Structure 1
């Protein structure tokens, strides 16, 4: 633990003309946000998982891993003694404990029933102002808007169907992302409609049987990774999965992993991967 703390303390915090605060990130969306504008934390949570699921922005190996997001190593956090802790409304119940160590910058991005893109944008701008990285934050926000606009232009003259945005739990169950997910919000912003119109709880449904996807046979399916290894092995030979019209007609896009509760970097990754693996973007009759 002491060795980890020492490596974190040794990491240079000067990424701009003015020294940046030494940051510890508890929440992944805020970790993404900080990295995207050039503020590398000295410590963050669940970095092995982050590198496998969120993937980007890349986290330098010198960043100390604080353990689980829901139960970070508070002793190590005290030893590291950051100047600022990045959190979110998900961890508000721990705010008092964090504030005994350092001031807390917390953002509310995900709320049931509220599209999260605008709150994620506002969180990035607010963090940029807090850290003196206003230009970097504005530039990143503008780039995200441009990518969404480019994708919207790409689909506006094409035939497209409603889209199920799902994550696979196992070979028989999925979770559907609604309009209060980053993926559902971005889907609407690029001009496509979400096939899932049911209720959600913090972005997605509880696990639903795969057969429910047959309820809207014209809808395409976008699977957002990661897909559990067992499901990846079983689905290709599952009679239920293969009977779905979208699967039968090859209207399924399998995307690489993306942070399901990410910030603007997750939104941009979603747009990029969707653009590369979107079989549902069918050309219109005029090509």
Structure 2
């Protein structure tokens, strides 16, 4: 057959077309972006949209405090969030490192390893729930998981609406969400915290109406709890061992109206500075705890 016959020309066109398709197919199947992060809120959000980082920080404590989404064993632990192992991170060769304003101090060194992108949920004047949604969508766009990020936002809203309906018809009392610093002091989460934002979305009142700074107040004395005697007390771990012992023997603690009436809810571990997964975890744990309360305040 001549090299210039119609059949030969068709064969050549087919070869060229096949090569082009193969090239385009290869572009679509480009290797996944190798990401790393030193921020837990970003880590949980990445995992929730189906992105497994090559490295993250302080994973032993993450598994105790954040809990979910679970971290695959393939994720390398690069040490403490406050003092990450830069050499180990360099050897892992990430394409991008995601950080937040909480780790801004580390950016100069991180930038020597890979491009750094800062995505912050918690900042003065920024509603944390809206910030968490924005960060989820930004991470989705950056990692090619746009649809998964949009689904995370939609599913979180939908689940919170479902839990709100489940909580409707409660006793109407406000909730005081606190974390014990020691046997005599606590921190309270205000309306501008993630916990406060979730309470609002669940249709629940936050008993603490004084100002906080997008997180929790500085430690204050337990006597302040007497000012919100009609509220539920929601304890967020960890509870220091000495505090646990002293509270059990504390006449003042036992005399608090909420404690005396059995209106104390102890939740499992949650990250107060988490993203959408932490917000949803708090909502589910709180709803489950309230569902187990018998009339009169006692737990079942």
In the superposition, the TM-score normalised over structure 1's length comes to: 0.88
Contact map agreement 1:161 1:280 (CA 8 A) in 2: no
Find the partner of 2:75 among 63, 83, 88. Answer: 63
The residue aligned with 1:40 is: 52
Q: 2:209 matched to 1:197?
A: yes
Q: 2:190 matched to 1:178?
A: yes
Find the partner of 2:151 among 109, 131, 139. Answer: 139
Cα distance in structure 1, aligned partners of 2:264 and 2:152: 30
Unaligned runs of 5+ in 2: 1-27, 296-300
Determine which structure has the larger helix proportion and give its number: 2
Render the CA deviation track for 1:77-104: whole Å, top value 9, x for unaligned: 1122211111101112222221221112
Cα distance in structure 2, aligned partners of 1:143 and 1:282: 30
Find the partner of 1:231 among 223, 235, 243. Answer: 243
Q: 3-state DSSP class of the match of 1:170?
A: coil
The residue aligned with 2:31 is: 19
RMSD across aligned positions (CA):
2.0
Render the CA deviation track for 1:26-65: whole Å, top value 9, x for unaligned: 1000000101111111111111110111111101222111
Cα distance in structure 2, aligned partners of 1:98 and 1:252: 43
Q: What does 1:84-233 correspond to in 2, within 5 Å?
A: 84-233=96-245
Moved more, 148-157 or 83-92: 148-157
Cα distance in structure 2, aligned partners of 1:115 and 1:169: 25
The residue aligned with 1:11 is: none
Offset at residue 233 of structure 1 (A): 3.0
Q: 2:273 matched to 1:261?
A: yes
The residue aligned with 1:78 is: 90
Cα distance in structure 1, aligned partners of 2:293 and 2:120: 33
Q: 3-state DSSP class of the match of 1:278?
A: helix
**How many residue pairs align between the two structures?**
269
* 1:208 to 1:113, Cα distance in 2 relative to 1, 3 A: farther
Moved more, 228-237 or 98-107: 228-237
Cα distance in structure 2, aligned partners of 1:264 and 1:36: 9
Q: 2:83 matched to 1:51?
A: no
Contact map agreement 1:176 1:204 (CA 8 A) in 2: yes
Unaligned runs of 5+ in 1: 1-15
